[in-house]
């Protein structure tokens, strides 16, 4: 239940805190480290621009393809263009990664008026063997219902959304679980922006664990697919060490309570902004659902 999100090829250390006088690490170097320390689930995306370097790292690692779980995501611009563009994009992803199939392929955002047809294209690609599993990313409950009503024939296996104690949307999570859809967390570690929170520090001290490990354990204990991101080898090792301790019921309850109404409001604003991002409707609310399940 632990995967690794490679850094983007364009800025492998965008948020690493490295000083300007130190050489920046490439995505290839980061992924080689991740594979070397034991990660086998790698998440890529058209938007990340990292698949060429991830492919190089895989080739250099010597890790067998059958031992890897490779995930990628199709971006909004390609979704908007339709089936031919989606097929061409997947072919490029496969070539860049050096494989003839991906284990999981996600619709990155539910682009209004386009995402249902995009999903149906992925269904065909799955039947052709280029995709083993289809999933969603950033889908609200209402987007999922639109898929079902749109006549899809293969249910998604996952919905990847931001999940951490500071954005814990329990009603949304419970709905997807009721539909048999696995929840995959991104920003599991909140991009490192909460490591000085006193609750994380106190819980970590009680278990001799770091705040990052507390966040990771919270994800695992809730049954989410935990996807940490780091460009530092030592942090990759640390982030994976979440299976040798357990949070108490009281600790879990306290962590569950860190989500505030203000954070949910911010999330809703980002959702409205991003579903049309980079499309011909970017910057508009055209087609955007204005009443979604936020929590």
Residues 6 or more apart from 191 whose CB is under 8 A from it?
15, 229
User: Of 4, 39, 48, 119, which residue is the catalytic one?
Assistant: 48
Which residues are bridge partners to 43 per DSSP? 71
48 labelled catalytic: yes
Nearest to 279 by CA among 15, 80, 34: 80
Task: Provide the token pair at 89.
Answer: 């994009």
Q: How far is Cα 112 from Cα 98, in angstroms, rounded to an integer?
A: 32
CA distances from 126 to 64, 130, 166, 272 (A): 22, 6, 35, 29
Nearest to 228 by CA among 5, 1, 49, 27: 5
Label residues 221-254 b or e (16+ Cβ within 10 Å = b). bbebbbbbbbbbbebbebbbebeeeebeeebbee
Residues tagged active-site: 48
């Amino acid at each position: 239940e632990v995967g690794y999100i490679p850094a983007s090829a364009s800025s492998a250390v965008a948020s690493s805190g490295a000083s300007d006088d130190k050489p920046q690490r490439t995505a290839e170097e980061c992924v080689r480290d991740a594979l070397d320390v034991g990660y086998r689930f790698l998440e890529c995306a058209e938007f990340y621009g990292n698949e060429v370097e991830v492919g190089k790292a895989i080739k250099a690692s010597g890790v067998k393809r059958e031992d890897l779980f490779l995930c990628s995501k199709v971006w909004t611009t390609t979704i908007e263009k339709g089936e031919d563009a989606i097929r061409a994009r997947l072919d490029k992803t496969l070539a860049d990664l050096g494989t003839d199939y991906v284990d999981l392929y996600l619709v990155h955002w539910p682009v209004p008026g386009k995402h249902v047809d995009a999903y149906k294209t992925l269904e065909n690609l799955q039947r052709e063997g280029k995709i083993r599993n289809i999933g969603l990313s950033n889908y609200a409950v209402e987007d999922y219902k639109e898929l079902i009503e749109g006549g899809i024939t293969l249910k998604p296996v996952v919905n990847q959304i931001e999940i951490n104690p500071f954005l814990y949307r329990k009603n949304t999570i419970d709905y997807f679980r009721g539909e048999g859809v696995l929840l995959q967390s991104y920003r599991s570690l909140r991009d490192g922006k909460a490591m000085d929170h006193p609750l994380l520090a106190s819980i970590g001290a009680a278990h001799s664990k770091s705040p990052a490990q507390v966040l990771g354990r919270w994800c695992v204990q809730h049954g989410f697919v935990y996807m940490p991101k780091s460009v530092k080898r030592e942090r990759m090792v640390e982030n994976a060490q979440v299976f040798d301790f357990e949070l108490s019921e009281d600790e879990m309850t306290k962590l569950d309570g860190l989500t505030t109404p203000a954070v949910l409001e911010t999330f809703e604003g980002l959702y409205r902004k991003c579903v049309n991002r980079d499309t011909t409707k970017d910057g508009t609310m055209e087609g955007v659902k204005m009443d979604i399940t936020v929590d």
